[in-house]
Amino acid sequence: MPTETSDTEPCDYADAVAAFLKDRADAEAEIRAADAAYRSEADRLATAVEAAGTARDEANRAAVAAATLVAETDKTVSVLWRSLGDFVGHRRTGPTPSAGPPDPEPDAERVRARLERSGRLLSLARQGELPIDAPRHTEATAAAIGAGLGALAVAVALWTLRSEDTAVRQAAAALTLFLGVATGPIVLGVWLSWQYRVRPRPGQTLACVGAAIAAVCALAGVFMRGL
């Protein structure tokens, strides 16, 4: 005897299939979204790890460069300080000074440029060639040096001629007067180098030579008139 089927069974079956397909589609969409989120987060983490590795390498290189610069600076400063002590006296310089406060924005090229400039200035100072001008009163001192050497030359020439007035002694006296004028700039240069670590400037040299010539002419005319 056949059983009777309800008219609602095909409808319920179709709804169940539709619900299943919808749930599966939703699940697949969630899986795809989760997979995309995972891949995105993995890529972000990989990028962050790579950036961290790059930053670490740069920090290591910076640390090595800083250590090299510190060692180089300490060595150069020690050499310069010893050279300065040899120049002005170790009692004046004392021991090598300790490092000052760190530079908030260190620049290796700027540090090396300063050390190079310090070494160049020290070398110029040792040669008496500092790029500075001596005080103004040194022109008067230059004139005094020239006048003193001129007077000394006249005195030596006068002594030479008084001993025996011959052609040879006259030539020696004339050479003495010339040397009295020519020696002035040399003595002036030695004095300025020792006192101020500079070389004579044109004005100082002219003052020295002019005073020497004036002293030689004036004193020679007075003391050698009767010879």
pLDDT per residue as tens digits for the range 161-189? 776 667 777 788 788 888 888 899 999 88
pLDDT class for 9, splitting at 50, 70, 90? low
Using the 8-state DSSP alphabet, how is residue 105 labeled?
Answer: S
Average pLDDT, the chain: 80
| Spatial contact of 192 and 128, defined as CB atoms under 8 Å apart | yes
pLDDT recorded at residue 156? 87
For residues 87 and 114, which has the higher predicted lDDT (pLDDT)? Answer: 114
Q: Is the pLDDT of residue 2 over 70?
A: no
Q: Report the C-alpha gap between 44 and 168 in whole angstroms.
A: 102
Among 199, 213, 206, residue whose Cα is nearest residue 147: 213
For residues 57 and 83, which has the higher predicted lDDT (pLDDT)? Answer: 57
Q: Is the pLDDT of residue 87 over 70?
A: no
Kindly state the average pLDDT of the residues 44-55: 90
Q: Is the pLDDT of residue 40 over 80?
A: yes
pLDDT recorded at residue 1? 43
Q: Report the C-alpha gap between 163 and 193 in whole angstroms.
A: 38
Tokens at residue 220, please?
């020679």
Q: Is the pLDDT of residue 10 over 60?
A: yes
| Spatial contact of 179 and 153, defined as CB atoms under 8 Å apart | yes
Q: Is the pLDDT of residue 74 over 50?
A: yes
Q: Report the C-alpha gap between 2 and 108 in whole angstroms.
A: 101
Phi then psi for residue 133, to 5 deg, are: -100, 140
The pTM of the whole model exceeds 0.85 = no
Q: Report the C-alpha gap between 56 and 40 in whole angstroms.
A: 24
| Spatial contact of 188 and 208, defined as CB atoms under 8 Å apart | yes
For residues 122 and 1, which has the higher predicted lDDT (pLDDT)? Answer: 122
Poorest-confidence range of 97-101, 143-147, 155-159? Answer: 97-101
| Spatial contact of 219 and 151, defined as CB atoms under 8 Å apart | yes
Tokens at residue 81, please?
């300080």
